[in-house]
Amino acid sequence: MRLLTSPLQFLLLALFSSLAHAQFGFFDQMFGGGGGGQQQRQQPQNVPSDSSIYRSNFDRMHCDNYLCPDTLACVHFPHHCPCPWPAHEDKFETGEGHRICVSKGGFKPGEAGRKVELARKGLL
């Protein structure tokens, strides 16, 4: 048996073996090849359409002040609750001690706040 003597031969061998692995790995994925003792991945299941998961999380939470119903954050007052998706929502506190979260989507900076004020005045 002849040993690989040059770095070029070694590099070519590594290249061809990786190409063969990629090619046959592709076919395994396409045709569901279950050979090799690999486990099949299960498709993720949809969450149930009832609120039992939420209720069980809510019941496990401990909060001495106010437990925000949508984020399960413990705060001193309801208007201190954070928005569930702060990267995508702006928070506005209303005069009634509550807060609302408004989508940032497509608005210029400050535009969502202007629209909230117009709606609060009944102009929108």
From first CA to last CA, the distance across the chain in angstroms is 84
Q: Give pLDDT tens digits for 38-87.
A: 566 788 888 778 888 888 888 999 999 999 999 999 999 998 999 999 98
Dist. CA 113–CA 102, nearest whole Å: 9
pTM assigned to the model: 0.54
Taking the C-alpha atoms of residue 21 and residue 56, their distance in angstroms, rounded to an integer, is 46
Whether the predicted pLDDT of 2 surpasses 70: no
More confident residue, 123 or 20: 123
Q: Compute the C-alpha angle 48/41/46, nearest 5°.
A: 10
Rounded Cα–Cα distance for residues 40 and 38 (Å): 6
